[in-house]
Amino acid sequence: MEIRKVELYLLDMKLKEPFKTSFGVTDVRPVVLVRVEERGGEEGWGELVAGHGPWYSYETYEIDYLVLEKYIVPLIIGENLKDITDYVKLVSKIRGYPMAKAAVEEALWDLYSRETGIPLSKLFGGVKEEVVSGVSIGIKPNVEMLIKEVYRRLDEGYRRIKIKIEPGKDVVLVKKIREEFGDIPLQVDANSAYTIADVDVFLKLDKFGLLMIEQPLGYDDLLHHSILSKKLITPICLDESIKNLHDVILAYKLGSAEIINIKPARVSGPFESKKILDVVSGLGLGAWIGGMLETGIGRAFLVALASHPSVTYPNDISASDRYWNEDIVEPPWILTKNGTI
């Protein structure tokens, strides 16, 4: 792949409805699309998922746009890349900025897939024709609105419900959902909103038969996740704490998690994601693919990775109409009657 051109496109995508987590509220998502073109004219597309502020990650779309334009794109212009490993080696000299690196890597995977005629799912070791889809529900102003949305998402066919929690909006919400819906597949996501001092909250949540508790403590706190994990029956799932395969192995050795949420953008791209997927099942860890409010372009990589045999839990990969009135891909991603994508 001799790269002759790289183009960046900045869009503002308005969500159908605001999405609230313990970090804050998102109603408009900045989207940077990356288009690469090789010498023969074939193209590939990727997506930057960094948001407005440094909350989930230190990366923001404005900083990453600068990193892309000034540092990453110049590295590959005119380069003849044999495969994706050449790109990974090139950008390894840039410290950090996994989301920026992932955006270009996705575009190169797309280009490579088009040139070779091999589907992305096969390039990533996938074996499934459909992937099981769960849905993530943000923090609502009141319990009644939350219950109403759970009804709506179950009616749409989603096979797992995940709710965002924060201090003061946690145990009561889970209790109400269990009372209303019984033993549905249910998990919670704290986005690092708690500390080990909140152990009593998690001991109460532990009684509700949750699939997992996702990222309850600080993003860099593997030690206290290990302590908390030993006190609970419910598995701990790590998200923000996992930046690469090394972190997965460290979390496994410490006993900090039993499940890993793999977000390609968080771990520098599909290449590192596949490395993690190739290892987790051998360690006895569960895995699933998480989302970052992607458009249909970024969603394609999530679906392809979710077809890997190591993915053992429903994924945060919703249909296009979950977040967007109109996606930027045609056809849009849809949820089947079986709750799959």
Contact (Cβ atoms closer than 8 angstroms) between residue 159 and residue 132: yes
User: Two tokens at 121?
Assistant: 């799912």
Spatial contact of 160 and 314, defined as CB atoms under 8 Å apart: yes
**How far, in Å, CA of 306 to CA of 328, rounded?**
21
CA distance 215 to 22: 12
Residues annotated as part of the active site: 164, 263
Closest CA to 135 of 114, 152, 110, 111: 152
* Cβ neighbours of 194 (radius 10 Å): 23
> Could you tell me which residues come within 8 angstroms of residue 133 by beta carbon, excluding any fewer than 6 positions away?
158, 159, 160, 314, 315, 317, 318, 319, 335, 339, 340, 341
Tokens of 148: 């109403």
Q: Which of 46, 31, 45, 56 is nearest to 243 (CA)?
A: 56
Strand order in the sheet with 186-189: 135-137, 161-164, 186-189, 213-214, 236-238, 259-262, 286-289
323: left (phi over 0), alpha (psi -120 to 50) or beta: alpha
Q: Rounded to whole angstroms, how far apart are CA atoms 43 and 5?
A: 9
